[in-house]
Structures are given as C-alpha cells and as structure tokens.
Amino acid sequence: MKSQVVLLECSEYDKEKIYNELKWGIESFGGVQNFVRADEKVLLKPNLLRKADKDSAIVTHPYVVEAVARIFKESGCQDIKYGDSVGIGDMDKIARQCGLFDEMEALGIPMADFNECVKTEYPQGKMARQFHMAKAVIESDALINISKMKTHQLERMTGAVKNMYGCIQGLHKAKGHTKYSNAESFARMLADLNRFARPRLYIMDAITAMEGNGPASGTPVSMGIMLISTDPVALDSVCCSLMHLNPKMVPTNVQGEKMGLGVWQEDSIEVLTRKGLISVREVREKYGKKDYQVNRGKEVKALWRRIRWVSRHFQRKPYIVDKDCIRCGICVEACPVEGKALRLNRPAAPVYDYKKCIACFCCQEMCPQKAIHVK
C-alpha cells in the first residue's frame, strides 16, 4: 500500500477556513477516534523555535495549532496540552509573543512541562539508543506533531521528521549536535527519535512557509497549503516537491526510509485533495514553487569528509554580516561546542574559530537579527 498524504488548500490564515480544512483532512484518515481515545493524554507539538511574530514563518502559526486543538477537544479528548523545547528563551514568552498562549487559553488548554528531563533508553535504536526527553513527552499517551515548512542549513529542509527534535529537553538539544555532528548521523538520530516517540499524526503548516536562510532567518513565502499524514517521510517528500527539491537530497528522507520510518519515492506516495487523488508530480506542477530558495548543491562525499584537511576547504560554514550584527552574544550562547567555536569580540562582531566549528548552524538558527549566513 502507498503512504497517503492529504493536501489542503488554504490561501490565508483564516481561522474557520483552517479549522474546516483540517477537520476534513483528519476525517479522511478516519477521524480523531482513529488516532486517540477520549481518555488518553494528548500532547500537541508545534514548532516554537524562538521568539517571533506569528506571521514571520519561524513558528507554527497559532491558528493551525488552535484548530487542531479544537478538533481534538470537540471529539471528546479531555486531557490536551501543548509545548515544545525551544531553541533559546522561555517557552511561555515565545507562546505569548506569537499569540499561541491566548488561543490555547481560550480553549482551556494548558502548556505542558518541557523543562524537566527524563532519561530514557531505546535499545532498538540504530543510531541513538538513549534520549533525554522532556517530561511532558514521556507522560503523554498520544503525540500530535504540528510542524512548519522551512529551509534548514544542515538538513536542507525542516518539516515533520525534524520537528520532533523539540521533544529533547533543553541543553541536551545542543549536546545532540556535537554527538551527531553531520547531516547523515543527525538524520539517523531523528529517525530513531520518531520511531521511539511514535507520533500518532503529522500535520504541516505550509500556508506561509520559509525559504532562503532558514529556519529562522529566511524569507516568508506564500504556499497556501497544509499537509497531513501518518508517514512523516512521505509528508516531507511532498514538501520537497513543493520546493522543487529532489527529496533524495534530504538526509531525513533517505535515512528515514532506510530505518523503516516511512517512504520518500514518488511512486510510493499518493496525495489526497478535496478533488480526489493526485500524484506527487501533479502536486509539484500545480502547487510547487520552481524558484524556491533552498540549498540544491551537492554535498562533500563521506569519504572526503574523513580527510579533515580536505573537508575544511569544502565544508559549508556560517559567517556574520557585520552591519546586521548587534553584538548580543546569543550566537555564542547557542554554540554547543565545548570551549565554543566563536567568541565575543566587542565592539566588533563575534569571531569564529573554524577549526572548532562543527557546522551545526545553531548560531545561525538562534540569531535574532538574521545576521548569520552560510557560505
């Protein structure tokens, strides 16, 4: 059987339109009751990377999360919470700034505890056999993943599979970048994380997506759709087609399929719309953006990466645009490398030590001024 992805057209962030489309999409999979029982603890996991306005395309739009919460609550679910392990800052402040807190408070849905850590073993893991999970994830019965369509400097794009990294608690997210320091190993860890946490449903907000210098410093771009699937790899593969990016170039797709998480090939996926089934090719032609700004360049082969002096010359690296930098030091704080791969240099911009840099791009993700780019 093919993996099914539901594609919903929604040109703007209209609350009722989003609600009606998502309700139809979930019902096409058999309804909420096909995923959770009314007595189960449900956790909604949006992308709350850092403080941002709801229209910045940095976070999952609060109207999408609110609609999912409303649908599940109306179906009889009594215990629903929401949360994310944010990149930097405080989850409460981030939820308030983007408007998510007010939307959920109106529904009587509380924020979950993502501060406390639970060390968990996963002996079935092929790359990662241990996770430091947020307590809220461990205590939930049913996880609903609500991602955002964005570009990503390490994995090319971030979507359903990558959004699960927010289930790792606090500082352990940064440590994970040093342990899984290249795109392939990081992707394999993410596949294990999805296999361990086992979200019941994956939903993507792509009404407005992010292109260019994502996942936090890029440019919002209107795509006018939402995606739903039980297969995160298939969902991300369809997302790649919307970007006119070969899904084989995205490590989370390739490694995810190898590890049994899902499928990425077009002939293994069918897309359901209000008008019926269409192919991934038809999705690309009708809804895709040919000039979507995303990294389509070839990566250095694994063999060459083992030869460090060669790797340093071909590795993609972050750099700071001096005129945009405000010398806040957040990039230094975000660096997970022991001893730091960049240091404060006030009154000038921070300075990189590229011999230490592992090209995880945490600095670039967290920069509030969009001052860090990749070359």
| CATH code of 320's domain | 3.30.70.20
Query: Are 309 and 259 within one domain?
Result: no
What pLDDT is recorded for position 306?
58
Q: What is the CATH number of the domain that holds 192?
A: 3.40.50.11440
Span of 10-14, 70-74, 127-131, 306-310 with lowest mean pLDDT: 306-310
Write phi, then psi, for 185 (nearest 5 degrees): -65, -35
Query: Are 32 and 88 within one domain?
Result: yes
The residue out of 229, 262, 287 marking a domain boundary is 287
| Residue 126 within a domain | yes
Tens digit of pLDDT for each residue in 246-305? 999 999 999 999 999 999 999 999 999 999 999 999 999 999 999 999 999 887 555 555
Tens digit of pLDDT for each residue in 102-157? 999 999 999 999 999 999 999 999 999 999 999 999 999 999 999 999 999 999 99
CA 341 to chain centre: 25
Q: What is the DSSP string of 251-298?
A: HHHHHHHHTTS----GGGEEEEETTEEE-HHHHHHHH--TT-----PP
Q: 158 near 215, Cβ under 8 Å? A: yes
Q: Which two tokens stand for residue 88?
A: 């930097």
| Residue 297 within a domain | no
| Residue of higher predicted confidence among 328 and 310 | 328
Query: Are 318 and 346 within one domain?
Result: yes
Query: Are 235 and 324 within one domain?
Result: no
Neighbour tally for 145: CB within 10 Å: 27
Q: 362 near 334, Cβ under 8 Å? A: yes
Q: What is the DSSP string of 83-113?
A: ----SSS-HHHHHHHHTHHHHHHHHT-PBP-
What is the residue-averaged pLDDT of the chain? 95
| Residue of higher predicted confidence among 181 and 130 | 130
| Residue 294 within a domain | no
- 89 pLDDT tier (thresholds 50, 70, 90): confident
* Listed residue (282, 372, 362, 5) closest to 159, CA to CA: 5
What pLDDT is recorded for position 115?
93
Q: Which residue is listed with tokens 């997506």?
A: 209
What pLDDT is recorded for position 315?
77
Query: Are 78 and 110 within one domain?
Result: yes
What pLDDT is recorded for position 1?
87
Query: Are 251 and 336 within one domain?
Result: no
Work out the average pLDDT over 221-239.
98
Tens digit of pLDDT for each residue in 34-72? 999 999 999 999 999 999 999 999 999 999 999 999 999
Stated pTM of the model: 0.94
The residue out of 287, 321, 349 marking a domain boundary is 287
Query: Are 265 and 309 within one domain?
Result: no
Query: Are 24 and 106 within one domain?
Result: yes
| Residue of higher predicted confidence among 316 and 201 | 201
Query: Are 109 and 255 within one domain?
Result: yes
Query: Are 242 and 141 within one domain?
Result: yes
How many percent of the chain have pLDDT more than 70?
Answer: 96
Query: Are 276 and 335 within one domain?
Result: no
Q: What is the DSSP string of 204-261?
A: EEEEEEEESSTTTSSEEEEEEEEEEES-HHHHHHHHHHHTT--GGG-HHHHHHHHTTS
What pLDDT is recorded for position 314?
66
Question: Which domain covers residue 226, as residue numbers?
Answer: 3-287
* Listed residue (211, 141, 133, 138) closest to 167, CA to CA: 133
Q: What is the DSSP letter of 321?
A: -
| Residue 234 within a domain | yes
Q: 175 near 246, Cβ under 8 Å? A: no
| Residue 257 within a domain | yes
Query: Are 69 and 175 within one domain?
Result: yes
If one counts the domains in the chain, the total is 2
How many percent of the chain have pLDDT more than 90?
Answer: 92
What is the Cα–Cα distance from 164 to 57, expressed in whole angstroms? 18
What pLDDT is recorded for position 170?
86
